[in-house]
Every structure is written in structure tokens, then in C-alpha cells.
Structure 1
Amino acid sequence: RMCLSAWLHLQGGFPVRSVDMQRATDNITIRQGDTAIIRCYVDDKVSKVAWLNRSNIIFAGQDKWSLDPRVDLVTKGQLEYSLRIQKVDVYDEGSYTCSIQTKQQPKTSQVYLIVQVPANIYKVSEDITVNEGSNVTLSCLANGRPDPAITWRLLNPSAEPLDGEEYLDIIGIMRNQAGRYECKASNDVATPDVKYVNVVVSYPPTIKKTQSSETPVGRMGTLQCEATAVPTPEFEWYRDEKRLSNAQGINIQILGSTTILMIANVTEEDYGNYTCVASNRQGVQNASLFLYRPGTGRDINGSACVSQSLWLLLACFACLFFKC
């Protein structure tokens, strides 16, 4: 300030006017990268004027003291002595002073420049694969000015917000919690920053559907087995203890989570029980299916209708015996 005071007393007159004090005392909020214009208006009672940032002189009259190429003056006639800063950054934040010299005494007017920075996610969890039932923590770290709010969603049909900020804890994750997780950081300065984490939940096979076959001799018999699992299960077919493979008369197809066993030109020896085995690194499950001749009393899912009929017959005898 001593340097400025000396300059104000020694420099020749610069045709300026008194400061619009009310306008100059406002804070200015600006986004990083934009251009800031800090206004200062004067009248003809002013003889000298300067701009300072903290204690550093930026301009003294029309003389530029700052070496920053982003900074210049905006002067429209003799009424305006405004400071322009292009490509504003966080280190530009602070107090700026428009200092004037009148015939009576020096006057100053301060403006505080506030620099806001859009939210930016600088670190997020990588895509992961976990076992069902394990605990999972996803992280999403962001910065910005003001500090951003961080929210999480699982992008399923409901996509409801989840309870988490920088860290999202999932205790005992289940298969229905697998999917794409969205982390959003926002501070209302610009469009929110968004990142995604894909979570795969591994679980053992569950055979959810089987299809036995009622096939006459000489026709093609088809057995079908469907399982859910992550990773996708591998399938094997067995007849008694013997593993089946593609050979003469037998064709095994695997279509994703479904396997089909086709037996061409069924013979009497082909009738009986078959086992479908689904496995992955998480576990194994098997199911029994039946290839049977028409009229033997088995339903399409392999259960014994003969047994059901026997139970009905016993129930009838019991009813007669007890006179129900």
C-alpha cells in the first residue's frame, strides 16, 4: 500500500471519476475457465486510480504492473475503469481493490472474487466380480468448489437412490443387486460428473426348469434342462453312472443357460432316468429327467403318475374301511 500511495501522489493526472461504491463492494462468483470483469466506475473528482490484488499492484492508471497475460483493463470512455481476468482459475480467488485518489483523500473499494469449480470425479472403483453374500464397498471420490454432493444409484428399473456418499457399502450382496452402479457428483456449478461401476455377483447353479419326454419307439426323444448361474454353468448329461457325449444317435446342445439332450430313433433300451448336471466354480446342482414310453404313467416333468394313482387307490380303500 505504501507503493500505491507513493504512486498516487507522484503520477500525473488521469481523467477519472469517483468510484461507484455500492456496485464495487459486491462479491463476484464465477466459474473456473470463464472471464471475470470486476467493475469500477469513476467521475471527474478523481485524479488517480489503480487496481490491486491483495497488496500487489495490477494496474496503475493505464500502466500494467502485472505480468499475467490474462489480465487487462476495460475502459469505456472516462467512466469505467474495470479489471478483466480471462480463463479464471482458483488461484485468482481473493480480494481486489479499486483504489482512487480524490482532491480530499484516497478511497478504496473492494470486491471479493469467488471462483467455483465444477464437480469432478477423480477416482472411482473399477468393475468388480464378487461372490454372493460377500460385503462390497464401492468408492467415488470427487472434488470441486463448493464441495460436491455424491449420490449412488443401481441402474435397475426402479433406479432409486442408495444410502451412500463417497463410499457405498453393500452388506451381504445378493444376485439381484448385480448390475451397473451410477456415481454422480454435483455442486450446481455445471452439469454433474457421472461415472459407472459394473458389479457382477457370482452364485452357484440353480436348475429352475426340466422337461422330460414321452416318446414312442422309433421317434426322437428330447430332454431339456435350464439353470441360472453366474458364471454361466457348464452342463453334463448322465445315464445311470455313465456320462453321455455326442455319439451315434445322441446329440447334446448347450444354448447359454439351457441344455438339450436329443436321442434319435428311441429304442426300449433308451427308456429310463437321465441326470442333468449344471456346474460352475461356485457349485454344482443336478436334476433327474425321464425318457418314457407312452402310457407308462409318467407326467411330462418326470414324476410318477403311477405313484400318484397308487396313493389315490390307498386313499379310497382307507375311506371305505373307515366309512368316510
Structure 2
Amino acid sequence: MSFILEPSDVIAVRDQPLMLDCQVQGEQPITITWRKNGLPLPFNPRVQVLENGTLLIHKFQKRREGTDADMGEYDCAAQNRYGLLVSRKAKVHLASLPKFHTHPVSMSVNEGGVARFQCQINGIPEATITWEKDKEPLNTSDSRYTLLPMGILQVTCVRRADTGIFRCVATNIANTRYSHEATLNVTGTYTTIYKEPVILSGPQNLTITVHQTAILECIATGNPRPIVSWSRLDGRSIGVEGIQVLGTGNLMISDVTLQHSGVYVCAANRPGTRMRRTALGRLVVQAPPEFLQWPQSVSRPAGGSAVFTCVAQGVPDPHLIWLKNGKVLMPGQTVKLTNNNR
């Protein structure tokens, strides 16, 4: 008996149907049962186990009167005359989109300068961020507009025509929300008066997992317009593979590896001189834990001892816990255990 399909992590939408797979091949008859958070799934008219073992929740609920919500960890068990087979645990989260916790702020910018707006919102799943100007979708074909995935809008070489009301729009499968409105006022006229380079917003410390994409912000202003460049504090080369510059100086690193961890330096340079301003940001790349060696089964006489070895690696180093029959072992056990982290 073996699984053809096991349940997988999923994000459910409130009041919408949800299906969790559990399909098994083997000698019939096979009985499929489901558990939630380690307990047998109670009878519920909204919940149905289909003939192929799939669990169907007809109308997913956040919380019902007198009962728990449908969110949690689900697993299925298949049993025939040869034994019992238990699936992996699948986490079921509820899609949500709460209110913005950072809204764009109105600002005044001299013609030819730089404007920056930011909004932040935490959604499950992560929301898609777009921008509107005067309640119309922003013309993203204008190269002066740079939209960063973390809810940042940069406008370079600001013109009189950029004057208007901006707002942020966040969308995911749960909802669509609009931020507060922010006004961009364009003042004065473009001049050739010298202004030292200034970094309006530099890179922030960022922690991500391997294979994700890192975006380090750097936007600067000055007259003449400063040139933005990047380097590493340790002197190592940033490289070119997977590296892209967004807008006038934001650094994007695709498919990051552990070697990308380090402190990055953004420099705003005045053309033709050594005049520059710098800002630093630390990028920390983590790797999820994985086992390199599993403990092996052994046979020992009563009163004897056994040695089990478990080797795992990850960044940061994983913390290993030993369990016996599903329970955490306490100090004083007679079994000798060995942990090795790499």
C-alpha cells in the first residue's frame, strides 16, 4: 500500500470549498480516515470524505459558534488488512488581508528631484501591490517610475505633470484594499545649482531563504544627478549572474545562495569627482534544515545500550530534539544518543 497523492499545505478562502488530497493504491478494501491537529476529524455536515479519499470542506469557516476554526494541520490514514499508512501533515491557513500598517505620506519635491512613496501590508498569501495616480492605474511604462515589490514607488526626474494624488492598492485571494491618499506637490523649477549627493533611502537589513530574490533599495538625489554603484564591505565581488539593477540604482539578486550573505554598500557618486555618500545594508541568507544521516534501527539485549546518530545541516545550525514513541526524551534515559550538526 502506498500514497498516490498526499495532502499539501494550502491557503483556504473563507466561505469557499477546500479539497485536500489523499489517494492510495493497494489491496482493497482500504479505509481512509482524517485527523486535524492530531485528533480524529469529528462529524460535520460541511465536511465530506470522497470515494477516492479526498477531504472536501464545502464551506471553509474561520470560526463557527461553539467550535474551532477549520484552520490547522490535517493528515490522512489509510488502512487495509496489511497495516496502517499515515500521510504527511498539511498546514491549512486562512487567506487574509488586514489593513495597511504603513501608508504613503504626502511630499513636496523640486522639479527634477526624486519622490518616494511606501506602503506596507501583511497578507496571506502575500498581496500584489500596484499604484494609482488620481485614482487611475499608474503608467508603469514611464521609465521614471520604479515599483519595488515591497510596496515602494520611486519617481525620478520629477516633472510638473507628476503632481497628483497617489495611493497603494493591495490585492490577494482574500480581498482588495486601498491605502490612504498621498499628494505629490512639484515646486520650483529645474535649476543647475550644485547640490551634494544625498541618499534618500538606502538598503535595509534583510533576512531571506536560499533561492528567494533579494532587493536592496538605493535611491539618491543631487545636482548633477549622482551615479549609484554597489559593492560588498568585505571586498568580495558581487558578480553578474542573477544580478539586475532596478530603476536608477536598486540592486536585485535572483536565486540567492549562502554565498550572497554579507554587508552591501550603496554609493551615490557625483559624476567626475570622488564626492560620494554611502549607505549599508546586511543581507542574511538562511538554509532550511535537512538531514544528512538518519538514525538506524538496532537490536540490543535487555539492559544494554544503543547508540543512534543523527546528522543535520542548515543555516543557522538546526537544534535537534530526540523523541521516543512520539515523546521527547528526558535526561537520564539509558539510551545513548548522538547529535551531529554540520
* TM-score between both structures, scaled by the size of structure 2: 0.37
Q: Which has the larger radius of gyration?
A: 1
Higher helix proportion, which one?
1
* TM-score between both structures, scaled by the size of structure 1: 0.39
